[in-house]
Amino acid sequence: MTLRGKTVVITGSSSGIGAAAAAQLAQRGATVCLIARRADLLDEVVAGITADGSGTGGRAMAYPADLTDPAATDAVIERILADHPTVDVLINNAARSIRRSITQSVDRLHDYERTMAINYTAAVQLTLGFLPRFHEQGHGHMVVSSTMSTQFPVPLFSAYVASKAALESFARSINAELAHRKITTTIVHFPMVRTEMSEATDAYNALRMMSPESAARMLVKAADQRPLRVSLPLGLVGEVSMATVPHVVTAVVPRLLRQRDRQLADRNRHG
């Protein structure tokens, strides 16, 4: 595969992983359609890509929209389809994360509803919206930004992990039903990445994380090479372990993560 001349739609692209991926895709010659709520930041990302002047032929266009609003999502799909005769890749990258224990969520069903609205429902709506164009042109690829936390049990992120697991299942269903028609998906399992979303948790200030630029390269690989998944070795070990010794993993991993969080909290308190 080559990305030169391809049209790539990427959500959550006003900052962080999405903005970095948009720049890298444009550097490879793709036309990138950036979707996010914050129009001013989208314009800055587009301006940065335009000013890059790498000479690869890549372009960037901003499509501000609130993807939790179904009507706004339908409208942005229509705009992109009207502007671009071909849409080659859809990267569902926009996400919301909530760090809260299940016991603290018993009166907060809205935490789960809000997380599902952007992480799952919006991504499904976008995919369904572009699916007829994929059929018409005879190909299409959907990339899912997911998390290593779906590969082994992680405490405190039940709303986030559940929404990502649901989207992964949707992506696998697309492959099962449509891969023979050249409509395929890739699931990208990210580790912790240093973004606005992760920085909202003060306890993670001292945690070593992947940079947005490195995470973006995982998305570019998914869009270009189109494997079934892009994952780190640790995540693959987690999957194999959960398949073979789930009782051990379920007992050990959450305990280790709780211990890590206590150490991070102590480190933050003492500088």
Beta bridge partner(s), residue 60: 32
Tokens of 182: 């050249």
Residue 220 CB neighbours (<10 A): 22
Coil vs helix vs strand at 10: strand
Q: Among positive and negative, which fits the CA dihedral 172, 173, 177, 183? A: negative
Identity at 163, one-letter amino acid code: S
Catalytic center residues: 160
Secondary structure (DSSP) of 68-112? TSHHHHHHHHHHHHHH-S---EEEE-------B-SGGGTT-HHHH
Q: State how far the Cα of 143 lies from the Cα of 130, in Å rounded to an integer.
A: 13
Please name the helix (run of DSSP H) or strand (run of DSSP E) that holds residue 64, with its range, or none. strand 59-64
Coil vs helix vs strand at 186: strand
Q: State how far the Cα of 78 lies from the Cα of 41, in Å rounded to an integer.
A: 22
Q: Do 99 and 19 contact (CB within 8 A), yes or no?
A: no
Residue 244's contacts (CB-CB under 8 Å, 6 or more residues apart) are: none
Terminal C-alpha separation, the chain:
47
